A and B are shown apart, each in its own frame.
Chain A
Amino acid sequence: MKNVLKISIALFVTVALGACGSSETKRAADGKTGGGESGDKKVISVEPNMDAETLAQAGEQLMNPATFMLADTALDMSLAKDPENKRAQFYKYAIKRLMTLKGAGTRFRPFIAANGDVKTYDVESKKFPNSPLKDFLFKGKEDIKTMTQVQDFLVSYRDALLEYHTWLRKNQDLNLTLNLNPFVFQGNLRADELNACEVVGTSENGLDVKCDYTEIAQRKVNAADMIAIRQMVAGEILYFTIYTAYSAEGVDRVVRLNKKRNLTGEQILDILTNNAEFGKLRKDNTLSIITSLGADLMSAWKWALANQRALCPAGELAGTRKGQVFENGICIKYDSETEKYANLADQALMGAITVKLHKPGTDNEKETRVDYLAWARKPVADLRDIAPVSFNHCDKADRIKDNTLGGFYPNGDAEFFLDTKCDD
């Protein structure tokens, strides 16, 4: 490990915080709120003779999308000196999952070569600007070839999230003042410049404005913010728990065969169910952890739905057709019914509740019992056990093997709620 890092960040900023760290009174009649010089350069030194807090602060200054992996080194050095340094812990746990992305750009290449357009991928990779981030993402072995290995990769990301969530719970009353790197967060700081000013008087030429920039580059994280962060992390956990619960082995084959999107739902199901591994509950699944998220779960649910589109662009994986079983690959299907799920209450997450639901595409409404987290409490061992057994003439599943859908509909009326309506 490098024990000395000297990082120069030369960012040509048009507005630097010239008044940062000072208090001043100035005339604001011309509408300007301050300014700075271009071509500023920031040097962040990380040296072994620094104390733990100074190293943590150096790591803090490196917290940005281009250099977080360098921050990780500084934070390690800080924690080696003082394992209890909260600033270093705060950032270390926050970027732990990002560190699992190391080498991802190269590691995934064999998988992309087998299933996608590797030429385009290579061209795009070469265009990536030379930077510590490029080294971080592209230095590695080409070792991810199968869907199982893709999921193993996601498991390490998910497990880092779980560690972060546990740390946030343990340190729920943490109060920390963060010092932002003004070169990286200039946009945020510029916006806050105005908030740092108040009108103290008026005169012929304009207003007298007093600006106090003393704390403009600082952010305070308090106990309430720790809960907010914990809820967002819980949302990520929920999302990646779903992605990593069942073997997706075989989905890659569907992608290859369905490039022209001409396979029927029945054909896709055949391909998947004929793969011995597909749909098996993974041994390292964390479905049972979902209920231990406690009150965070409701916010997590909302977060996962809100970020669904960003995390799972349409057609990224299986590329199947609209209305089919695996629409948009293995993503959660987002529609008006899903929107309703976003309004779940804790009660609905704790056990089966009685609700009125519409049969999709009709005005038929039926009262039933739904256990939204049945799979978290007692996971289905093999997705084949709940798979469709027949499809109608417009290729929509109209019968399924288990009419409780793995306990989701305890009354055994899952088929009623299948979307079987055809457009013709």
Chain B
Amino acid sequence: MIRIVGSLLLIGLGIAVAMPTPASAESAIEKFALSTCKNEGRLRCLKATASKAEGGSLKPIYVLRNLEVTLVDSAKSEKTVTVSERGYLDFETNRLVLDTKNGEKVFNLSDLSVNEWKLK
């Protein structure tokens, strides 16, 4: 029991007092752009632009402001554009997540699949 309580304390405090790098080590990029394509039978490309990208130090995550994500599917001649004031790029899970009116829209950068989470 003591071991479990000890684990809870260590994990809980590990998160509570997470150790970002010193305050001076901030990383921010103005006018951020990212593009990637997949060709698995049909060519699909994603292009994302943002007015600013701000990196954290706990995980490889960048918060993006004023985003525009364009997804082009050459086979279907489709082009979908999603805009959002805020989102983030998560290199740990290789996803681009946009805040939407009802929740979150997730672009998987590995296979360019798109999913939407509706949040209560």
Contact = CB atoms under 8 A, between A and B. Distances in A.
Interface of A: 63-65, 68, 91, 94-95, 97-98, 101, 104-105, 108, 111-112, 116, 121, 124-125, 137, 157, 173, 177-178, 185, 188, 192, 195-196, 214-216, 218-229, 231-233, 236, 291-292, 294-295, 297-299, 302, 307, 310-311, 313, 316, 345-347, 350
B9 A347 contact: no
A183 to B, nearest CB: 14
A65 B117 CA distance: 36
A101 B8 contact: yes
Contact of B5 (A105, A177, A225, A233): A105
Given A299-B90, A347-B113, A350-B115, A195 B11 contact: no
15 contacts: A64-B17, A95-B13, A97-B8, A195-B25, A220-B23, A224-B55, A225-B58, A228-B59, A291-B117, A297-B117, A311-B4, A311-B8, A313-B4, A346-B108, A350-B117
Contact of A222 (B19, B56, B108): B56
B55 A294 contact: no
B43 to A, nearest CB: 20
A215 B90 contact: no
B96 to A, nearest CB: 10
Given A215-B23, A229-B18, A346-B108, A224 B103 contact: no
Contacts of A228: 18, 56, 58-59, 61
Interface string B14-54: 01111111111110000000000000000000000000001
Given A98-B8, A116-B1, 10 more contacts: A64-B13, A121-B1, A124-B2, A215-B23, A225-B56, A227-B59, A294-B104, A310-B10, A345-B111, A346-B106
Interface residues of B, number: 51
Contacts of A219: 19-23
Contacts of A232: 15, 18
A243 to B, nearest CB: 11
A350 B117 CA distance: 8
B56 A94 contact: no
A101 B5 contact: yes
Given A63-B17, A227-B88, A295-B97, A222 B63 contact: yes
Contacts of A316: 3-4
Nearest to A289: B120
Contact of A313 (B3, B20, B92): B3
A224 B54 contact: yes
Interface of A is mostly: helix
A98 B88 contact: no
A101 B108 CA distance: 39
Interface string B51-94: 00011111101110000000000000000000000101010110
Nearest to B89: A224
Nearest to B117: A294
Contacts of A178: 20
Contacts of A104: 1, 5
Contacts of A292: 119-120
Contacts of A236: 11-12, 15
A216 B22 contact: yes
A196 B22 contact: yes
Nearest to A232: B15
Given A229-B58, A350-B115, A295 B21 contact: no
B117 A295 contact: yes
A220 B13 contact: no
Q: What 4 pairs across the A-B complex have the smallest Cβ distances?
A: A224-B56, A94-B16, A228-B58, A294-B117
Contacts of A63: 13, 16-17
Given A94-B16, A108-B1, A231 B59 contact: yes
A116 B117 CA distance: 44
Contacts of B55: 224
Contacts of A111: 1
B13 A68 contact: yes
Contacts of B12: 95, 97-98, 236
Contacts of A307: 11
Given A65-B10, A219-B23, A294-B119, A227 B56 contact: yes
A347 B108 CA distance: 9
- Among B23, B55, B103, find the residue whose CB has the most chain A CB atoms closer than 10 A: B23
Contacts of B54: 222-224
- Among B1, B97, B106, find the residue whose CB has the most chain A CB atoms closer than 10 A: B1
A177 B23 CA distance: 7
Contact of B115 (A65, A216, A347): A347
Contacts of B22: 192, 195-196, 215-216, 218-220
A295 B56 contact: no
Contacts of B20: 178, 219-221, 225
